[in-house]
Amino acid sequence: MEDVLFKHNFTFKKKYGQNFLTDPNLLDAIVSDAGVGEESTVLEIGTGAGALTRALSKRAKRVVSFEIDKSLQPVLAETLAGCENVEVVFRDFAKSSLAETEKELGGDYLVVANLPYYITTPVVMKFVEEGTHCRGFTVMVQEEVARRFCAEAGSPDYGAVTAAIARRGECKIVRFVSRALFTPRPNVDSAVVRADFTAGGFSVKSEKVYRETVRCAFLSRRKTLENNLMSCFSLSRGEAKELLRLADVPEGARGETLSPQKLGALSDFIAEKRGLFW
């Protein structure tokens, strides 16, 4: 791969988070981690020099891969030659409509990517919040971010992103990856996170209210949930107390101690009581 990049005078762009993978064993392992099979349609974000794309192409039915950097076009013409089931879309994924992309994909799909570090969370949140046909994601991210995605309630890494992902499904770190395996070598180690949207998720009465409840729970970690609820939802102290009592949340609890399921239950009571309070 490096010789193809050199041949086409490619220069790595830090602003796009270009840290490429080359180790064939690691690439195959990521494809296995993702559970990609011959019936799978895969959406990849960040084609790079096409190393992961090629590995995906061997096992998937179809791979659609977004890449922002058009200077990779001649490189990919070479590295992905013969991969008939791959389509590279040279577009900024962050500015693309997921609804449009889903229309293009035409059915259920898996997201598999070595994500550019500067847009990791917004990209993941896009699938969490808008991914109607997304069956889950398997993504390489910075280790610290991976821990936040899969954290236990009450732990220091637990936050709004954890609770948002958990509502869609099970999330776990499936692999730790040394910085030495990337070109160029980044300053931090990475991990592969797999979130399975077909298992372990839960439904809520209103996704919008759940999102707002989660935002509110983590608004100010120094404040009690009762106080955060009062300011987020413009409630009186009595109303906030009543909601917490209904959801069986102990007096004086802080938002970050509530499991995602408990936040879901609380958001359902908020959704139900809306008519009374607003």
The region of 47-55, 159-167, 188-196, 267-275 touching ligand SAM under the rule CB under 6 A is 47-55
- Dihedral (Cα; 144, 146, 149, 151), 10-degree rounding: -70
| Position 67 contacts ligand SAM (CB under 6 A) | yes
Q: Which amino acid, one-letter code, is at 201?
A: G
Return the residue of 31, 40, 66, 160 that touches ligand SAM, per CB under 6 A. Answer: 66
- The CA distance from 212 to 204, in Å, is 12
| Position 158 contacts ligand SAM (CB under 6 A) | no
| Position 251 contacts ligand SAM (CB under 6 A) | no
| Position 145 contacts ligand SAM (CB under 6 A) | no
- The CA distance from 199 to 119, in Å, is 26
| Position 127 contacts ligand SAM (CB under 6 A) | no
The CB-of-120 to ligand SAM minimum distance in angstroms stands at 10
- The CA distance from 226 to 240, in Å, is 6
Return the residue of 55, 64, 69, 271 that touches ligand SAM, per CB under 6 A. Answer: 69
Q: Look at residues 50, 54, 79, 84 and name the one whose alpha carbon lies nearest to residue 66.
A: 50
Residues contacting residue 13 through CB under 8 Å, at least 6 positions apart: 69
Return the residue of 64, 119, 243, 244 that touches ligand SAM, per CB under 6 A. Answer: 119
The CB-of-185 to ligand SAM minimum distance in angstroms stands at 12
How distant, in Å, are the alpha carbons of 112, 126, 229, 266 from that of 242?
43, 33, 11, 11
Helix ranges (H only) for 8-119 are 24-33, 51-59, 73-79, 98-105
Return the residue of 41, 57, 79, 114 that touches ligand SAM, per CB under 6 A. Answer: 114
| Position 17 contacts ligand SAM (CB under 6 A) | yes
The CB-of-187 to ligand SAM minimum distance in angstroms stands at 14
| Position 260 contacts ligand SAM (CB under 6 A) | no
- Binders of ligand SAM among 80-99, rule CB under 6 A? 92-94
Q: Look at residues 79, 26, 25 and name the one whose alpha carbon lies nearest to residue 50.
A: 79
The CB-of-107 to ligand SAM minimum distance in angstroms stands at 22
- The CA distance from 226 to 241, in Å, is 7
Return the residue of 36, 42, 55, 68 that touches ligand SAM, per CB under 6 A. Answer: 68
CB count in 10 Å sphere of residue 278: 8
Nearest CB to ligand SAM, comparing residues 52 and 230: 52
Q: Residue 36 forms beta bridges with which residues?
A: none
Q: Which residues bind ligand SAM (CB under 6 A)?
A: 16-21, 45-48, 51-52, 66-69, 92-94, 114, 116, 119
